[in-house]
């Protein structure tokens, strides 16, 4: 059975279909789905979904895009939500210099604050990093002691060398629909991830894999991600190792 470690069923495009998506997970070969928050309302929604549906788990946090709106009230709320058994991670948090929707100094400050909070709450973290691997690595190295409960570089798009730096910090590396794109060009990075650190995700409704480009992505399309990675890691059972890794990291 597969595990989707990064899905936004809390997105307005998928939320109306949550019951339907959940009902067919088993027949589509999925054991569970981690619903990831990106601000306070979406985190509350992720937790509500995890309470209502057996195979949904939640992560709470503020996306770098929304760093500028982060408040002490958000952190208090996340502290409460992390006491719930099905809140399995803190995220998605990180740095996004591609869109720069919050200024970089604010992104870095809020990233640091959330790393400390996640550690205090004893949660693994889900990292969103785009065009900012250098600064993210620097901040994570400074926070090495706060990475005790692990974490994952979601939708990893860096080099093999950069991947090894994150692995040295004890982190996992997740890949999604981008691996099916013609221009992906990072098969060597996927191949080089240590067996015990590889994870699968969809990031739905975004990052729809080939051949469903142009439609909303769904957890059920994760099989296409597995198939592509299986081609590159032919000596391993990709579904089995990634699911075992997810269960261990998130205590599912």
Q: What are phi and psi of 14, to 5 degrees?
A: -105, -25
Q: What are phi and psi of 237, to 5 degrees?
A: -95, 95
- x/- letters, 202..221, toward Ni ion (CB under 5 A): -x------------------
CA distance 252 to 245: 10
Sole window of 17-25, 71-79, 96-104, 201-209 interacting with Ni ion (rule: CB under 5 A): 201-209
Q: At what angle do helices 238-250 and 222-232 cross, to 10 degrees?
A: 120
CB of 56 to Ni ion, least distance (A): 15
CB of 207 to Ni ion, least distance (A): 9
Residue closer to Ni ion (CB basis): 59 or 238: 59
CB of 145 to Ni ion, least distance (A): 26
- Name the residue whose CB lies closest to Ni ion: 203
Residue closer to Ni ion (CB basis): 4 or 203: 203
C-beta of residue 38 within 8 angstroms of C-beta of residue 230: no
Task: Tell me how far apart the terminal alpha carbons of the chain are, to the nearest angstrom.
Answer: 13
C-beta of residue 110 within 8 angstroms of C-beta of residue 145: no
Residue closer to Ni ion (CB basis): 37 or 239: 37
Q: Count of residues binding Ni ion (CB under 5 A)?
A: 1
C-beta of residue 198 within 8 angstroms of C-beta of residue 226: no
CB of 154 to Ni ion, least distance (A): 6
CB of 234 to Ni ion, least distance (A): 29
> Interface residues with Ni ion (CB under 5 A)?
203
């Amino acid at each position: 059975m597969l595990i989707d470690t990064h899905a936004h069923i809390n997105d307005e495009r998928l939320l109306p279909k949550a019951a339907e998506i959940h009902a067919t997970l088993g027949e589509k070969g999925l054991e569970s789905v981690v619903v990831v928050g990106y601000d306070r309302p979406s985190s509350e929604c992720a937790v509500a979904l995890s309470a209502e549906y057996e195979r949904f788990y939640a992560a709470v946090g503020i996306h770098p895009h929304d760093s500028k709106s982060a408040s002490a009230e958000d952190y208090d709320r996340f502290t409460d939500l992390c006491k719930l058994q099905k809140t399995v991670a803190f995220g998605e948090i990180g740095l996004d210099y591609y869109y720069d929707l919050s200024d970089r100094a604010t992104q870095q400050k809020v990233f640091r604050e959330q790393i400390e909070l996640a550690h205090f709450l004893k949660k693994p973290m889900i990292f969103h990093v785009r065009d900012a691997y250098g600064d993210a690595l620097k901040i994570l190295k400074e926070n090495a002691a706060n990475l005790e409960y692990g974490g994952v570089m979601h939708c990893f798009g860096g080099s093999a060398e950069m991947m090894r730096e994150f692995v040295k910090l004890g982190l996992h590396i997740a890949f999604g629909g981008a691996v099916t794109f013609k221009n992906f060009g990072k098969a060597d990075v996927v191949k080089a991830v240590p067996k015990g650190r590889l994870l699968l995700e969809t990031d739905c409704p975004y990052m729809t894999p080939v051949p469903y480009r142009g439609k909303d992505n769904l957890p059920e399309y994760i099989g296409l991600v597995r198939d592509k990675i299986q081609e590159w890691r032919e000596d391993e059972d990709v579904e089995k190792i990634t699911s075992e890794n997810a269960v261990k990291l998130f205590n599912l």
